[in-house]
């Protein structure tokens, strides 16, 4: 019997064949190219503080919630979008709605939580997270008996 290897004209080397690629492409064709419900963040150490930048394009300021609980900072947001297209007589050609909520949490045990500031412009949430002042344990001299 023949030993059949799937052939893809785009790939000349059969060793690079990924059998799961067909499933991924089928899923994309069925569900469409949807964006995952997450957001990217960058954290920079600026010496005396951390700067956290979270990309939240298309999210309104009112739909963003930043909370602190038990040394964890949580950023949560909701994204809503509606697309409508009508023909000349007002009949629907296409009407799409999508909704999703997502959140991320960060450990802020080394941050002075009472002095955190936030601003949101052009789809980017910027949090200034000042570091806690390093406390040195008091030096104590023991008397030897």
Dihedral of the CA atoms 63, 66, 70, 71 (nearest 10)?
150
Strand arrangement of the beta sheet that strand 124-130 belongs to: 41-45, 49-55, 124-130, 117-121
- The pTM score is 0.61
The arithmetic mean of pLDDT across residues 114-135, rounded, is 92
Q: Which residues contact 34 (CB under 8 A, 6 or more apart)?
A: 98
The percent of residues in the chain predicted with pLDDT above 90, rounded, is 39
- Rounded CA gap, 87 and 60, in Å? 29
| b/e 24-34 (16+ beta carbons within 10 angstroms → b) | eeeeeeeeeee
Residue 43 or 2, more confident = 43
User: Is the pLDDT confidence value at 91 over 80?
Assistant: no
Residue 119 region by backbone torsions, left for phi larger than 0, else alpha for psi between -120 and 50, else beta = beta
Q: Are strands 41-45 and 72-86 parallel, antiparallel or unpaired?
A: unpaired
Q: Which of 21-25, 62-66, 141-145 is the most confident on average?
A: 62-66
Q: What value does the mean pLDDT of the chain take?
A: 79
The arithmetic mean of pLDDT across residues 120-140, rounded, is 89
């Amino acid at each position: 019997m023949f030993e059949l290897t799937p052939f893809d004209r785009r790939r000349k080397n059969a060793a690079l064949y990924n059998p799961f690629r067909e499933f991924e492409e089928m899923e994309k064709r069925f569900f469409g190219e949807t964006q995952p419900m997450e957001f990217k963040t960058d954290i920079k150490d600026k010496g005396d503080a951390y700067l956290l930048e979270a990309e939240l394009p298309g999210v309104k300021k009112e739909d963003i919630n930043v909370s602190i609980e038990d040394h964890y900072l949580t950023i949560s947001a909701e994204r809503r979008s509606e697309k409508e297209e009508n023909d000349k007589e007002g009949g629907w050609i296409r009407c799409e709605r999508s909704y999703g909520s997502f959140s991320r949490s960060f450990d802020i045990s080394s941050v002075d939580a009472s002095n955190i500031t936030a601003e949101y412009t052009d789809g980017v949430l910027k949090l200034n997270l000042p570091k806690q002042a390093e406390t040195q344990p008091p030096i104590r001299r023991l008397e030897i008996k």
